[in-house]
A and B are shown apart, each in its own frame.
Chain A
Amino acid sequence: MAVGLVGTSVRRIEDHRLLTGKACYVADIVLPQMLHMAVVRSTRAHAEIVEIRVDKALAYPGVRLVLTGEDVRHLGPLPCIDLFPDSKPALHRVLALDKVRYVGEPIAVVIADDGYAVEDAAELVEVVYRDLPVVLDLGEAASEAPPALLYPEFDTNVANVCRQEVGDPDAAFTDAAHVFEETFRIHRYAAAPMETRGVVADPTGQGGRITLHTSTQFPHLVRAFLGGVLGIPESDIRVVAPDVGGGFGAKCEFYPEEVISVVAARRLGRPVRWIEGRQEHFVATTHAREQIHTMRAAVDADGIVTAVTLRSLTSNGAAMFTLATTPASISSAMLRGPYRIPNYRAESLSVLTNKTPLAVYRGAGHPQAVLCMELMMDRIARDLGIDRIDLRRRNMLTKGELPSDRGTAIVLAGKVVYDTGDYPGCLDQVLELAGWDDRLRRQAEARGEGRIVGLGVACFVEETAIGPYETGHVRVDGSGKVTVLTGASPHGQGTATAIAQLVAEELQIPIADVTVRHGDTDVVADGVGTFASRGGAIAGAAARLAAHKVREKAVLIASELLEAAAVDVAWVDGRAEIVGVPGRGVTLAEIARRATAWNSLPAGLSSFNLDEVAHHQVPGIAFANAAHVVEVEIDRDTGTVRVLDYAVVHDSGRIINPMIVEGQVHGGIAQGLGGLLMEEIAYDATGRPLVSGFQDYFLPTSAEMPDIRTGFMESPTPLNPYGMKGAGEGGTTGAVGAITGAIADALAPLGIRVAGDGPFTPPAVMALLRARGEGVGA
Chain B
Amino acid sequence: MGTDTREIRVTVNGAPTRSTVPVRLLLSDFLRDVLGLTGTHVGCGQGPCGSCTVLADGDTVRSCLMLAVQADGMEIETIEGVAAADGTPHRIQEAFREHHALQCGFCTPGIVMATVGLLRRTPCPSAAERAELMEGHLCRCTGYRNIDEALAALSGAEPRGEH
Contacts and interface: CB of A to CB of B under 8 A. Distances in A.
A12 B101 CA distance: 11
Contact of A21 (B38, B138, B144, B145): B38
B131 A21 contact: no
Contact of B97 (A11, A694, A699): A11
B96 interface: yes
Interface string A505-519: 000000000000000
A659 B102 contact: no
Interface residues of B, number: 61
Given A16-B97, A245-B105, A694-B46, A194 B140 contact: yes
Interface stretch (A341-349, A609-617, A663-671): A663-671
Given A28-B38, A194-B104, A695-B46, A246 B140 contact: yes
**Which of the listed residues B38, B109, B147 has the most CB atoms from chain A within 10 Å of its own CB?**
B38
A191 B104 CA distance: 14
Interface of B, helix, strand, loop or mixed by DSSP:
loop
A667 B145 CA distance: 9
A56 to B, nearest CB: 13
A19 to B, nearest CB: 4
A693 B46 contact: yes
A277 interface: yes
Q: Which of A21, A491, A494, A700 has the most CB of B within 10 A?
A: A21
Interface in A624-676: 659-660, 662-663, 666-671
B119 interface: no
The interface size bin for chain A is: 35 or more
B2 A117 contact: yes
B18 interface: no
B78 interface: yes
Given A120-B1, A663-B103, A666-B142, A18 B108 contact: yes
Contacts of B66: none
Tell which of A115, A196, A278, A660 has the most Cβ of chain B within 10 Å: A278
Contacts of B89: 16, 19-20
B139 to A, nearest CB: 7
Interface string A491-502: 111100000000
Interface stretch (B4-12, B55-63, B67-75, B79-87): B79-87
A667 B160 contact: no
A703 B47 contact: no
Contact of A663 (B22, B51, B96, B142): B142
A700 B144 CA distance: 9
Interface string B101-137: 0111111110010000000000000000001001101
Given A195-B41, A245-B41, A703-B134, A666 B145 contact: yes
Nearest to B105: A18
A224 to B, nearest CB: 25
Interface of A: 9, 11-12, 14-16, 18-25, 27-28, 30, 61, 115-117, 120, 191-196, 243-246, 248, 277-279, 491-494, 659-660, 662-663, 666-671, 693-695, 699-703, 705, 707-708, 731
7 contacts: A245-B106, A493-B103, A663-B141, A663-B142, A700-B144, A701-B134, A702-B147
